[in-house]
């Protein structure tokens, strides 16, 4: 009888140890899951771009029109709903660039008429967005 009791107690202790070990294992698994979730979320560059654009202040076309680069005004251009400040570009003196005046939406012109396309805008920080 005594031997059996000791054996039972040892068995019970073993089971407790196994349960505790499994519990820790699960915790680690959960932590990894959360970390991976965060990493995956930050890894998608398209999501980042969209999120960054949404955080830009909303501007009106009237505000953009006031910034046509003439009479000392700053030079803003709108391409695909995003406002860029091109004032500091030596190619936009007085807000004019190859016949294109700042202060307006130049999406059609940059995509249709320019030799460079929209890639040149990567050199400029977007400063706002036009709400659709």
Q: Which residues would be at the binding site for ligand HEM (CB under 6 A)?
A: 77, 79, 86, 89-91, 97-98, 100, 106, 109-110, 113-116, 120-121, 123
At closest approach, how far in Å is the CB of 54 from ligand HEM?
22
Nearer to ligand HEM (CB atom), residue 64 or residue 110: 110
Give the DSSP H or E segment for 58.
Answer: strand 58-59
CB of 125 or CB of 132, closer to ligand HEM = 125
The residue (of 36 and 98) whose beta carbon lies closer to ligand HEM is 98
Specify the pairing of strand 76-79 against strand 100-101.
Answer: unpaired
In DSSP terms, 68 is beta-bridged to 75
Nearest to 102 by CA among 122, 88, 123, 116: 88
């Amino acid at each position: 009888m005594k031997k059996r009791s000791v054996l039972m107690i040892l068995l019970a202790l073993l089971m407790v140890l196994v349960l505790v070990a499994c519990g820790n294992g699960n915790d680690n698994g959960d932590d990894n899951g959360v970390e991976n979730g965060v990493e995956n979320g930050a890894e998608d560059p398209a999501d980042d771009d969209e999120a960054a654009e949404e955080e830009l202040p909303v501007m009106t076309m009237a505000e953009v029109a006031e910034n046509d680069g003439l009479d000392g005004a700053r030079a803003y251009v709108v391409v695909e709903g995003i406002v860029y400040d091109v004032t500091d570009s030596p190619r936009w003196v007085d807000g004019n660039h190859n016949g294109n005046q700042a202060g307006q939406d130049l999406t059609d012109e940059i995509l249709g008429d320019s030799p460079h396309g929209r890639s040149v805008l990567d050199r400029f920080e977007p400063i706002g967005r036009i709400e659709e």
